[in-house]
Structure 1
């Protein structure tokens, strides 16, 4: 998508209620298909000004804009279930910034659509910045993109070290055989360091093509999970406790070699230069095309309640760039 096209399709597309306080569920009865058709162009849609909804109504609205809910395994973000398939967006500390990322980009099957609903905006901060990953792909130097297309990227994860999630929490089982079966099917290498300490490695493509438009998108957790993206105090503390091999999360080139510092700096800068901010209003519903739109979270003060639902899983093998 070129510069002119990005101006034609702003991020996010804002759809305002015809009249303040209109019922979104009723509006979607007639307009869901047309709204969904605009998602691959804009990458995100913000529904604003509609009547406040409960968690159950939010799930119904998401159901009108998607086909199948996505049930997550390999969980990496702490979340709490609200009801049905609705969860908190994240339970990370409110004083932490969460870097831009695409949900579950390291999985073989990941959600195409993400839904966020603002039950209560925080009085200070708490925005959910967005970035167009098609533009990030275009912004990156050709040699960097080529290197990652050739080598891919590796995600190394340590569970059960006392820092981060346990393998039981992430894989939602207490049986090691279940974990090994899942990982074998998903192309994940498993190494049991002890009964509770599991180390996994998986190699994934750094970019994929969109199933509707065919556009290339920078789709990965390379920067998000690399330890250099952490605040310096956190980074140094983790390295002193775990060492590089024992870090809860880290990334490498697909051949296991380290990613250069200047490349990581360049990648982070590309995300930041494409960042679009908006402030939550009570009752806002945001629909993201997860493949082409990264999201993050600003630190906040006070109470903030953002509901979250994932839907319409797609297979990465169908989206590999030839």
Structure 2
């Protein structure tokens, strides 16, 4: 059972193994409420993975970081980027800046990196006119639903190999991806974080092998934790995929994913993974002022298309090692 909350009403929603706990504070002093309930919120994320605080009382994006730090640990810079974002203030960023008519597929934040966040905190500064939800899916439920032979292939073949090509004008440049225009710094960062590099003038190609499955360090739950289905070339619309392959060739794609030993992941396997995510996705409509907090290992998140103006900002945190 979730640790009792002080001055709040709670309601739990479940869909195919994915849970979302809604918490509604009954106080006007929102900063004091978050402080008083920090442990309860941490416990609720371990138990349910995703917690949404309705009508949180936050009115300024800058308020998100100190609340995130009190609950989740130190806030992180958004480095080793795979999508475009902008800094709002301090270590608070915009959510992924993709066109509003596009869906952002389910993913565990930065699962391709050695430096992924333990928690992600979202604050809805302006709710969209329609749509724009941030759906979640339980990573353990996803793992249980995937075909056992598919999971075994990923584990036996060394997880996932992520490949990227950074070039100006097609995807992210290496300067944006690593937040630096110093090639020496990028080389050092990659060497320290298990990333192979190859330069062709100002074009950078990288390869990094990461697990497909993880075990949560606190709960012990085994989960599906990777972005193979997001990086893979078959995640792209057919016309875009064919155009990129014609221009860049497979070795020059902005990003792609293979089994960890470099063997191809088939289009059917990617479709199976995405279908399991779709079946276990749960979404709560945003209202201006809501805060969503997730355990990034235990749950994935995405974004649905929307109309009108929408502003959701993000802070990512990491707990100190025990």
Structure 2 length normalisation: TM-score? 0.91
- Unmatched 5+ residue regions in structure 1? 1-5
* Per-residue CA distance 1:251-281 (angstroms, 9 max, x = gap): 0011111112221111111111111121101
1:86-235 to 2 correspondences below 5 Å = 86-151=92-157, 152-194=159-201, 196-235=202-241
3-state secondary structure, aligned to 1:15:
strand
Q: 1:10, CA displacement in angstroms?
A: 5.9
Q: Deviations over 1:91-129 (max 9, x none)?
A: 111121111101100111210000000000110211111
Contact 2:196 2:207 (8 Å CA) reproduced: yes
Asked if structure 1 preserves the Cα contact closer than 8 Å seen for 2:166 and 2:254, the reply is yes
SS of the counterpart of 1:38? helix
Ranges in structure 2 where 5+ consecutive residues have no aligned partner: 1-13
Find 2:292's aligned residue among 276, 280, 286.
Answer: 286
The residue correspondences of 1:262-277 to structure 2 (distance < 5 A) are 262-277=268-283
In 2: Cα distance, 1:206 partner to 1:31 partner? 33
CA distance in 2, matches of 1:204, 1:8: 27
**Is the Cα–Cα contact under 8 Å of residues 18 and 138 in structure 2 kept in the other structure?**
no
Shift of 1:314: 7.2
Alignment of 1:4-83 (within 5 A): 11-19=19-27, 22-83=28-89
Give the secondary-structure state (helix, strand or coil) at the position aligned to 2:75.
coil
Partner of 1:65, secondary structure, is helix
Contact 1:109 1:313 in 2 (8 A): no
- C-alpha separation in 2, matches of 1:23 and 1:56: 17
In structure 2, relative to structure 1, the CA distance for the partners of 1:297 and 1:10 (3 Å cut) is closer
Number of aligned residues = 308
Distance 2:173 2:69 in 1: 31
Q: Deviations over 1:228-247 (max 9, x none)?
A: 11122222222222221111
Residue 26 of structure 1 aligns to a residue in which SS?
helix
Alignment RMSD: 1.8
What TM-score, normalized to structure 1?
0.91
Q: Structure 2: how far apart are the matches of 1:199 and 1:297?
A: 28
Whole-Å Cα distance in 2 between the matches of residues 111 and 54 of structure 1?
23
- Give, in whole Å, the separation in 2 of the partners of 1:115 and 1:98: 17
